[in-house]
Amino acid sequence: MNVLYIGAGFVGVCSAAVAADGGHTALVVDIDEKKVQAFASGDKKRIDDCLSEKGLTDLLITHADRIRFTTSYDDVDVFLDTCDLIFICLPTPEVAETGESDLSYYYAGVEKIALSLALRNNSAQTQYIVIVNKSTVPIDMADETQRVLDSHGVTHVGVVSNPEFLVEGKAIEGSLHPDRIVIGAWTETDFSLLRIFYTRFVDVSETQYIEVNPKEAAAGKLLANYYLFAKLAVCFDVIGRTSESFADIQFESLKKIISSDARIGSWGFHDSLYAGGSCLIKDTRSLAYQLHAVGQDVSLLQETYLANNRQLDLFLARATTEAGIVWKGKKIALLGTAFKRDTNDVRNSPSFHIVEVCQEQQVSQIHIYDPSAMSTFQQRVLPSDQIQYVDSAEMAVNQADIIIIATDWPSFRDISTIVMKQEKKPLIMDGRRLLQEDYAVLRQHGCDIIAVGSPFLPKQV
């Protein structure tokens, strides 16, 4: 099939690469010239610097004959004459912490493609095309999309919802071996076209191929992400707080007891300083906004969001309330700027707030290191006399007064060894419990430790 992707972000590029791997011909259009050139370059480093996602570069290089990137709508107009599906993969960010989705990018993309669709096949519009919402959108967005198409006189077209459930860092693997594919359509014609597109996943035992209507598909995506977010909030604000508040309780022991119940499962038992990223927060807020707009009580959804913020605030405050630290004049090592390991995505990274707090507290220096996401983070947090980006974790922690582990990169487990070689005994703030197995030896070395999921652990010398 010939497939157009509007938007060369995380969703668009990963989806297009997997489509090409499945034998389809993909054209990806985006307004960002630099991004388009990087993805089309065939250069592994340029692609990884633009979007670090395991397996993505290999697919783009291997299937370069079946996937093209462009900024030109002239290319799109030609492609539409034989196009089967158009995947809309545009950002829908939250409007200023209101929960409302900013649909300006989405509407602009739909309006633009509608103009071209009305002119396809020399205005005869003989080629039937399905518009597929990959963007996370409000529940009734399929109807809105159809309204825009109708207003431009577009005919012989369907509108489908096909939400993505990709996990950053595992998006390619998850797309090649999905646990579910959700298709929301109103007609058998549209269902049948999507079955052809996803033919290698239909009637496969390890993949649930689910057909519903577009509103159910859109609602299901929002609700799934809220449910995951709520599990994390319970882990942070209840389970983690319990293990922080009582002596002789290990978070890992509680995790084993609770997750052994098959009804509960193991996902979400990751005590952390914060749940960041682009989806869980935004989708929970969007769901709350939409339910509130129709008169529903959304206090539970709001509390999940607040619990996440509270987790980060309490973690940082413990430096003063438990370790007696005065931040002013201190040298800080901030380890991690990505919102989680295996990605260079910094959206909703806790490190932004950490830097703000450090500046408010008038620390002397902040040395920042991340193995993948520093350049992205640096676009928003500029280097200065106070803020310095360094080339290794060892450089960051050298002579630091406080070490803050903000991202769960496996390489940060070596921090214990680095600290043990130094004369300075920093306060270690482990926001990911990465050093849990070394807490005893670090305390004996003379370090105070604040860790999510543990009471204050003072030095033992």
Q: Do the annotations mark residue 222 as ligand-binding?
A: no
Q: Do the annotations mark residue 417 as ligand-binding?
A: no
Q: Do the annotations mark residue 166 as ligand-binding?
A: yes
E runs forming strands in 363-435: 365-369, 387-389, 402-405, 427-430
Q: Do the annotations mark residue 282 as ligand-binding?
A: yes
Determine whether 358 is an active site residue. Answer: no
DSSP 24: -
127: exposed, middle or buried (Cβ count in 10 Å: 0-12, 13-18, 19+): middle
d(CA 155, CA 103): 23
Best CA proximity match to 346, nearest among 379, 389, 307: 379
CA angle 228, 233, 236 (to 5 degrees): 130
Q: Do the annotations mark residue 432 as ligand-binding?
A: no
| Structure tokens belonging to residue 15 | 């989806």
Sheet containing strand 208-212, edge to edge, reads 67-70, 25-29, 2-6, 85-88, 129-133, 157-161, 180-184, 208-212
Selected catalytic residue, list 83, 235, 279, 447: 279
d(CA 273, CA 292): 29
Q: Do the annotations mark residue 165 as ligand-binding?
A: yes
DSSP 453: T
User: Is the torsion defined by CA of 313, 314, 319, 321 positive or negative?
Assistant: positive
CB 361 within 8 A of CB 320: no
Q: Do the annotations mark residue 30 as ligand-binding?
A: yes
CA atoms within 13 A on the CB side of 290: 18
Q: Do the annotations mark residue 167 as ligand-binding?
A: yes
Q: Do the annotations mark residue 170 as ligand-binding?
A: no
Q: Do the annotations mark residue 276 as ligand-binding?
A: yes
| Structure tokens belonging to residue 81 | 């004459």
d(CA 108, CA 118): 16
Q: Do the annotations mark residue 168 as ligand-binding?
A: yes
Q: Which residue positions form the known binding site? A: 30, 35, 92, 136, 165-168, 221, 276, 282, 340, 347
Q: Which residues are catalytic?
A: 279
Q: Which residue positions form the known binding site for substrate? A: 165-168, 221, 276, 340
Q: Which residue positions form the known binding site for NAD(+)? A: 30, 35, 92, 136, 168, 282, 347
